[in-house]
Amino acid sequence: MFSISIATMAGLSLVMVFILVLAYKRFAVKPNPLEKKIRSLLPGANCGACGYPGCDAFAAAVAKKEASPEGCPVGGPDMAVKIGEILGIKVERGEKRVAFLLCQGGTDIVKEKAEYRGIETCRAANLIAGGTKACPYGCLGFGDCEKACPFDAIEMSSNNLPIIDREKCTGCGICVEVCPRDVLTLIPISKMVYLACNSLDKGKTVRLVCRFGCFSCNICIKVCPYDALTMEDNLPRMDLEKCTDCGICYYKCPSKSYIDFTPQRPKAFIKEGCNGCHECSKVCQFKAIEGKEGEVHRVLPEKCVGCGECALVCPINVIEMLAPEEVKI
């Protein structure tokens, strides 16, 4: 009797399996042929930066034209162009963006207002009186961004600030999302000069708590030759379309609130043929060019910061921007 029951159950199971297989074949949704091609291009990080659970879901959405080919920041602009080719549409080649820390307030730069004893995460510390640092806008330094980065592009420094590897960073924006202070942002990878301060406080308050904090002196705005900076909420806001990364704001800033990623700035050199028009001297904000009007001018390498403004205004093109070791003294 027992064996008959088992045989009956086994038979019913086989029948049900057979019915399910038939139903699957009959009602299965055929995959979009484009989906597999798109998926083969994706990096496979499954980080969710695209807004979908993983690369498979994103590929399916793009194939259905429910998501943009540019939706994967990890793959970057080159991959977006290739996806566009698969879809038969033109995708403009954009620029890779990378994470940037809007703060220089490490433990050796900014004052502490309290001692924190609790869960060592930025989110937890921020919930308790805004953390330990005297600046209410700065990095809390517990490394939530480092833990969240799926690409090992962030490492905490000895003074509790995240160091971002611009080569490893994919611009996925996950670190930006997890930061409770909004002290991380994404900027074009070609951007060399940028303000590393997030404080909205006024000058005196900033100077009391941070050595590198912007105190709204307006000097950078006044010296910018391209009107690329405007003061908003006590912070200089940069127009990336206008900024040329000349570096003048970086060198003129009295609080050293700007960061310059340029590995080695060139030096100006005036070749033979200078007619003494004095135009270069007029635009040089660092007194790096000597010579009276009508005389042959000379660049002082020790004062030249490599902004290149003199070369731009020279009417007879006798000013070259050279690597420091190439400059003839």
Q: Where are the domains of the chain?
A: 33-87, 95-190, 212-263, 267-326
Distances (CA, A) of 87 to 36, 93, 259: 12, 15, 40
Q: What is the pLDDT of residue 33?
A: 80
According to CATH, what is the number of the domain 267-326? 3.30.70.20
Local confidence pLDDT in tens for the 329 residues of the chain: 556 666 667 667 776 767 776 766 665 556 678 888 888 888 888 888 888 988 989 888 888 888 888 889 888 888 888 988 888 888 887 889 999 999 999 999 999 988 888 899 999 999 988 888 999 999 999 999 999 999 999 999 999 999 999 999 999 999 999 999 999 999 999 999 999 999 999 999 999 999 999 999 999 999 999 999 999 999 999 999 999 999 999 999 999 999 999 999 999 999 999 999 999 999 999 999 999 999 999 999 999 999 999 999 999 999 999 998 887 66
Q: Which CATH superfamily is domain 33-87 in?
A: Electron transport complex subunit B, putative Fe-S cluster (1.10.15.40)
Pick the closest to residue 164 from 193, 140, 184, 192 (CA basis).
184
Separation between Cα atoms, residue 315 and residue 204, nearest integer Å: 44
Q: What is the pLDDT of residue 24?
A: 61
| CATH fold match for the domains 33-87 and 212-263 | no
Q: In which region does residue 323 sit, left (phi positive, over 0), alpha (psi from -120 to 50) or beta (all else)?
A: beta
CATH class of the domain whose range is 95-190:
alpha beta
How many alpha carbons fall within 13 Å on the CB side of residue 118? Answer: 16
Q: What is the pLDDT of residue 28?
A: 56
The DSSP secondary structure of 169-189, one letter per residue, reads -----HHHHH-TT--EEEEET
Q: From 3.50.50.60, 3.30.460.80, 1.20.120.420, 3.30.70.20, which CATH number describes the 212-263 domain?
A: 3.30.70.20
Q: What is the pLDDT of residue 50?
A: 87
Pick the closest to residue 161 from 105, 207, 83 (CA basis).
105
Q: What is the pLDDT of residue 327?
A: 73
